[in-house]
């Protein structure tokens, strides 16, 4: 299809959907744009979404970045238009999915949001950074102090009243108003996974220091974009890894790239241009 419409009208870039099969036989869906810019010597932008959310949440970025760069966004297993398998909802398997997604590419700027950020770190931990030109982590804990507050009763609430809990979660991640139809579609999409599968994605068995150590060891350019909930962690990451670039979105929700797309996109374009000069 020439244009997929979720949060914006009138896409300028051609956004298409394709799929690939993983090594364990799962069919994963990918949105891409700017294919005419694909070349081994040019930067490619790859986007990884967060817990239970579809790749189409990056629609604005696919449209914008696709005008200059080959840009892709993956629906992780169980999410968006990807297959919902019986298993594989672990950090290791999801990182391998990313490795297989990125396998045809080189010179990649990898951008991971929320759960997608720590899964991007797990990818680096398991497979190295040879394909990457740089890494952007968006509004996710990276193991620095202070630790986020405990999750409270969220996991139990998913078991007790999944519809209500997911509706509240999806509404809370946006600061900008979203239509009831859009919220409902995201809730229904999240319910394609079983409750146990979705909880497994929120229960990776690693100490917080695991993510910090991966970030500290990453030797290529790193940009950490956060809302105030992770501002103190961002300060500590920059202190402990001085080359880290940090940007704080004080007036946006967790989906800061949806709430303030112009600012977010300009920041990514500037970072991408700096990689080309290195």
pLDDT tens by residue, 144-195:
999 998 878 999 999 999 999 999 999 999 999 999 999 999 999 999 999 9
* Strand duo 70-74 + 27-33: pairing: antiparallel
Query: In this predicted structure, what is the pLDDT of residue 27?
Result: 98
pTM over 0.85: yes
**What are residue 109's phi and psi, to 5 degrees?**
-95, 110
Give the count of beta carbons closer than 10 Å to the beta carbon of residue 104.
11
Quick one: pLDDT at residue 276? 79
Average pLDDT over residues 226-244: 98
Query: Is residue 86's pLDDT more than 80?
Result: yes
Q: What pLDDT was estimated at residue 10?
A: 59
Which ranges in 68-144 belong to alpha helices (H)?
91-102, 115-127
Q: Is residue 196 part of a domain?
A: no
Residue 2 reports pLDDT greater than 70: no
255/63 Cα distance (integer angstroms): 17
Find the DSSP H helices in the chain: 59-65, 91-102, 115-127, 154-160, 162-173, 180-190, 195-201, 208-217, 231-240, 256-259, 261-276
Q: What is the CA radius of gyration of the chain?
A: 17
Positive/negative CA dihedral, 29, 31, 36, 40: negative
Tell me the percentage of the chain whose pLDDT exceeds 70: 96
Torsion of CA 50, 54, 60, 61, to 10 degrees: 50
Asked whether the predicted pLDDT for residue 4 surpasses 80, the reply is no
Residue that the structure tokens 């914006």 belong to: 8
> Is 114 exposed, middle or buried, given 0-12, 13-18 or 19+ CB atoms closer than 10 A?
buried
The enclosing domain of 65 has a CATH number of 3.40.50.1820
Among residues 222, 217, 187, 25, the alpha carbon closest in space to that of 117 is found at 222
Task: Name the band, by pLDDT with cuts 50, 70 and 90, for residue 218.
Answer: very high
In a domain, 50, yes or no: yes
In a domain, 57, yes or no: yes
Kindly report the length of the chain: 278
Residue 61 lies in a domain: yes
In a domain, 28, yes or no: yes
Determine, yes or no, domain membership for 101.
yes
- Distance CA(58)–CA(31), nearest Å, equals 9
For 262, residues 6+ apart whose C-beta sits below 8 A from its C-beta are: none
Q: Which domain holds residue 133?
A: 15-150+207-276
* Number of domain units in the chain: 1
- Per-residue model confidence (pLDDT) at position 222: 98
Q: Is residue 51 part of a domain?
A: yes
Any domain includes 103: yes
pLDDT tens for residues 138-157?
999 999 999 998 878 999 99
């Amino acid at each position: 299809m020439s244009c997929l419409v979720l949060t914006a009208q009138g896409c300028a870039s051609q956004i298409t959907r394709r799929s690939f099969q993983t090594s364990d036989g799962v069919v994963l869906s990918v949105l891409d744009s700017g294919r005419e810019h694909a070349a081994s010597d040019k930067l490619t932008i790859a986007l990884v979404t967060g817990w239970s959310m579809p790749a189409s949440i990056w629609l604005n970025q696919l449209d914008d970045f696709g005008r200059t760069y080959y840009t892709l966004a993956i629906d992780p297993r169980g999410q968006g238009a990807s297959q919902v398998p019986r298993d594989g909802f672990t950090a290791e398997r999801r990182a391998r999915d990313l490795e297989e997604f990125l396998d045809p590419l080189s010179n990649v700027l990898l951008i991971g949001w929320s759960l997608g950020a720590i899964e991007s770190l797990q990818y680096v931990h398991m497979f190295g950074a040879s394909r990457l030109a740089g890494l952007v982590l968006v509004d996710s804990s990276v193991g620095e102090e202070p630790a986020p507050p405990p999750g409270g009763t969220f996991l139990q609430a998913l078991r007790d009243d999944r519809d209500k809990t997911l509706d509240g979660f999806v509404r809370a991640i946006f600061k900008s108003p979203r239509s009831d139809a859009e919220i409902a579609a995201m809730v229904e999409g999240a319910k394609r996974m079983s409750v146990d599968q979705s909880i497994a994605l929120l229960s990776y068995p690693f100490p917080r220091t695991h993510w910090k150590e991966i970030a500290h060891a990453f030797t290529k350019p790193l940009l950490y974009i956060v809302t105030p909930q992770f501002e103190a962690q961002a300060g500590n990451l920059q202190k402990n890894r001085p080359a880290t670039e940090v940007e704080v979105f004080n007036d946006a929700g967790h989906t800061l790239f949806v709430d303030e797309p112009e600012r977010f996109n300009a920041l990514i374009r500037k970072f991408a241009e700096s990689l080309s000069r290195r």
